[in-house]
């Protein structure tokens, strides 16, 4: 699927769903954003990162989506229009596809909102790293993932910052949503920090 396949309307409107660093750092111009969820996927820290949050020797762990009919994943969708479409796709291709190893899929995004707000589903583009990706690390215990995240750092910053910002987003923007995977890894990583400090 090409991203251009889901561009709609005369103005050329496209929604892009973010569930990792895009929720706090999109770094592209957009018309508006909405918090909401997609169905049929669970967010997991199963993807390796040897650029943004790690390196070849110590790859960080970042999130990807795994298919799961009973699951849903919360994040932010950004609407880009006109020239923003091409600009954002060009930028995200480098950030997510070239450096991150993510591929694109079309999903139904369901906006959250107050009574009276438009909550109709829209088709959105999402970047997903699959199991056949060379950077895919797969499942591990929260303790193992948390320890790995606590020690890794890449060109964009510490892996721990990525984890903490994602957990903060969920607490602030989706307080009604429980995310046991995310919060268990956050607790494990924070528990590991004192050991790092003591070793310095």
The CA–CA distances, whole Å, from 166 to 22, 92, 174 equal 10, 19, 11
Q: Which residue is catalytic, options 67, 96, 117, 168?
A: 96
Report how far residue 103's alpha carbon sits from residue 86's, in angstroms, rounded to the nearest whole number: 17
CA distances from 163 to 15, 107, 180, 190 (A): 24, 24, 13, 10
Tokens of 158: 């510490």
- Distance (Å) of CA 37 to CA 21, 110, 148, 151, 157: 15, 5, 28, 30, 27
β-bridge partners, 79: 15, 32
Which residues partner with 99 through β-bridges? none
* 96 annotated active-site: yes
From the list 141, 143, 131, the residue with the least C-alpha distance to 48 is: 131
Q: Which residues form the catalytic set?
A: 96
């Amino acid at each position: 699927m090409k991203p251009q396949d889901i561009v709609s309307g005369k103005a050329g409107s496209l929604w892009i769903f973010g569930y990792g660093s895009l929720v706090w750092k999109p770094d592209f111009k957009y018309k508006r954003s909405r918090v909401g969820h997609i169905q049929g996927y669970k967010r997991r820290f199963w993807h390796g990162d040897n650029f943004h949050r790690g390196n070849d020797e110590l790859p960080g762990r970042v999130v990807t989506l795994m298919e799961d009919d009973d699951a849903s994943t919360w994040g932010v969708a950004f609407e880009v229009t006109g020239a923003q479409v091409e600009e954002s796709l060009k930028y995200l291709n480098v950030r997510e596809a070239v450096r991150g190893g993510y591929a694109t899929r079309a999903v139904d995004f369901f906006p959250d909102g107050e009574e009276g707000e438009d909550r109709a589903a829209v088709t959105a583009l999402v970047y997903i790293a699959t199991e056949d990706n060379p950077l895919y690390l797969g499942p591990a215990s929260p303790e193992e993932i948390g320890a790995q995240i606590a020690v890794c750092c890449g060109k964009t910053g510490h892996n721990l910052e990525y984890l903490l910002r994602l957990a903060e987003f969920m607490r602030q923007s989706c307080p009604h949503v429980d995310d046991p995977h995310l919060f268990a890894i956050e607790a494990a990583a924070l528990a590991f920090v004192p050991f790092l400090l003591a070793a310095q």
